Every structure is written in C-alpha cells, then in structure tokens.
Amino acid sequence: MADAIDQDRTVADLGEFGLIGRINEVVTATAPGTDVLVGPGDDAAVLRVRKGHVVVSTDVMVEGRHFRRDWAEAVDVGHRAAAQNLSDINAMGGRAQWLTVGLAAPADLPAQWALDFTRGFAEECATVGAGLVGGDISRADQVMISVTVLGACIVSPVLRTGAVPGDVLALCGRQGWAAGGLAVLGRGFRSPRVLVEAYRRPEPPYDAGPGAAEAGATAMIDVSDGLLAEARHLAEGSGVTIDVETAAFDVPEPLVAVGQALGADPMQFILGGGEDHSLLATFPGGVALPEGWVRIGTVGARGELPVTVDGGAYEGPTGWTHF
C-alpha cells in the first residue's frame, strides 16, 4: 500500500503526474487477479474478453449534488462511487470486471483525499473481483467523478422491458436505509448510525443479479433513484402496470425511529428512497424466487397509472430526479 501523504500537501503540490503515480501505487496494491493485459499508465487499458455478453455503464458524481465531503470520508465516497456502478452491471444479471475513473478536482484538494478515495473505490471493486484499470485527472472548481464499468453476462442480459402481466414484483437487498441516513444528515444529525453508514457505504446484493437471471427474471433494475421511480421504468419499458404492496415490507426499527423524530412516515423512505442499490425485478408467477428475494407486488396489463401502491395512486415522493 502507498505511504500516506502529508495532510498539508494538495493535488496541486503533487502535480497531475505525481498524483497519477501515487494513485497507480494504490491501484497496484489493491488489484485483484483480472484479465488485464495493460493497466493504468498507457493511453488505454487492454483487456482479455472471454465468453458472454459485454455490458458497459457510466455514472457521474458531482460534489454538492451527489455527495458532501463533510458528510462522508473520502474512502466512503470511493466505496459509493464504485458500488453504484457495480450495481448497474448486477442489475443486468452480470458481473463487473473492469472500471475506469475520471477525477476532476480543485487544486487545493488534499492529495490524501484522492488516495483515500482510490483506496475505497478499489476495496469495493475487490468485493466482486473487479479491477480499476485506468482513468483521467483534471482540474475543476469542485470534485467531480465519472466512472465507466465493463462487465459480462454469461446468460442473456436482463433488460427493463421484459415484464408481462401475471409476473410478480420482487426486491432483493436493503431498501430505504440510505434515504433514512440522508434525511438524518440533512437535519445535522449523525444517528441512528446504522442508517448514516448505509448512506455512506451502500451494500448492494452483488450476487443477486446473476442469480435472478439464471432463475428466469423477466425484467430487472437497480434502485438508485427510488423504488417507485424504478418500478415506473420497468412498467413503462415493458408496457405493463405494477402494483406495490406495502404490507410486504417489514419496516426496520431505525427507520421507524427516524420517522418519529422527523414527523415522517417511514414507508416514504422505502418507497421513495434510493442509493441502497437494492434490486427490483419481475419473475413469472409460477417461478420460485431465488434466495434473498421478497415478493412485494404484482404486474398487470397496461392501465392509466403505470405504478400504483396498494391498488391506488400514491401521493408521496417516488424518487430522485436530476432536473
């Protein structure tokens, strides 16, 4: 592992190539065994592609919009940046293999922040055997992070467009915890700690995507912007309606506590919350759900409302929108 940098040194002190050199030390020290023929340091990475479908996704994180440095340590931001991209491949029924990162930062950003971010990013990638194989660095007025992930689906990728009437809607993973943590941080608090940590470091169910694909999932999506918002994507993409049943959810005690403290219905965190990166999928009605999946609703024929809750319109928040 690369030695720590004096806390007073900034990215400008190290310079572009000095920072890249230190980042490469972190990447080399944390790299898992992957099919990387040429890694960081050249104009592009060279990768060995094996059988299956190659799947690619890109996400952007902007300081002040997607994260705050006073709410999360650099290593946590690294874990979050990796998790949201690894989850995109998971939602296709695949497994992530390689990632690249574009980092733009102010000249006075502590250089150690960039290295700690890289360490957190690499640690999260290692949980699925993926590797950081390259990227770019530039100057900006605030920290901006762009990640591209490449992976593979051994079976056919599961899209958002395959749900049919008669399917069941199912969920895998924690849901609403990150939203509860964000609500706590937004009020200037740091507890319940379990919710704050869920916001800082999500725990996507990385094995659930490939398992759902093998079990015959007809459509799937990761819950990054809100459960009902993602359900709407599935419904509109597939030309069906989806009804979510609130009785299917066990509301965890920390969400109950936050709801009471903030005067909010804790179900709002579950239905409208994102960033836990749980998986939402539809399965044929006669199929036994894979381990870890819970039935939370049904799929019907196209109707006036693409998504309903307990059979009717829902008036609460359904998820995050960027504009």
pLDDT(266) > 80: yes
pLDDT: is 37 or 258 the higher one? 258
b/e burial code for range 218-227 (CB count within 10 A of at least 16 → b): bbbbbbbbbb
Strands (E), 234-315: 240-244, 278-283, 293-301, 307-309
Amino acid identity for residue 203 in this structure: E
Fold of 168-309: Phosphoribosyl-aminoimidazole Synthetase; Chain A, domain 2 (3.90.650)
**3-state secondary structure (DSSP) of residue 160:** coil
Contacts of 42 (CB under 8 A, 6+ apart): 134
Alpha helical stretches, state H, 187-226: 193-200, 208-214
**For position 27, what pLDDT does the model report?**
66
pLDDT(2) > 60: no
How does strand 131-139 pair with strand 53-62?
unpaired
The tokens describing 82, both together, are 């990796």
pLDDT(15) > 90: no
Sheet-wide strand order for 219-223 = 219-223, 278-283, 168-172, 293-301, 240-244, 307-309
**For position 166, what pLDDT does the model report?**
98
pTM comes to: 0.87
136-173 per-position pLDDT tens digit: 999 999 999 999 999 999 888 999 999 999 999 999 99
> Do 168-309 and 11-153 have the same topology in CATH?
no
**For position 322, what pLDDT does the model report?**
61
Q: What is the mean pLDDT of residues 219-226?
A: 96
**For position 197, what pLDDT does the model report?**
97
pLDDT band at 33; cut points 50, 70, 90? low
DSSP letter for 77, please: H
Q: Please provide residue 96's backbone torsions phi and psi, each rounded to the nearest 5 degrees.
A: -70, 145
How does strand 278-283 pair with strand 219-223?
antiparallel
**Residues making up the binding site for substrate:** 66, 275, 320
**Residues making up the binding site for ATP:** 135-136, 160, 224
pLDDT(13) > 60: yes
**Residues making up the binding site for Mg(2+):** 43, 57-59, 88, 136, 222, 225
pLDDT(6) > 80: no
CATH level 2 (architecture), domain 11-153 = 2-Layer Sandwich (3.30)
Domain map (residue ranges) of the chain: 11-153, 168-309
Helices 177-186, 193-200: inter-axial angle, 10-degree rounding: 100
**For position 312, what pLDDT does the model report?**
97
Percent of the chain at pLDDT exceeding 90 = 78
**Residues making up the binding site:** 43, 57-59, 66, 88, 135-136, 160, 222, 224-225, 275, 320
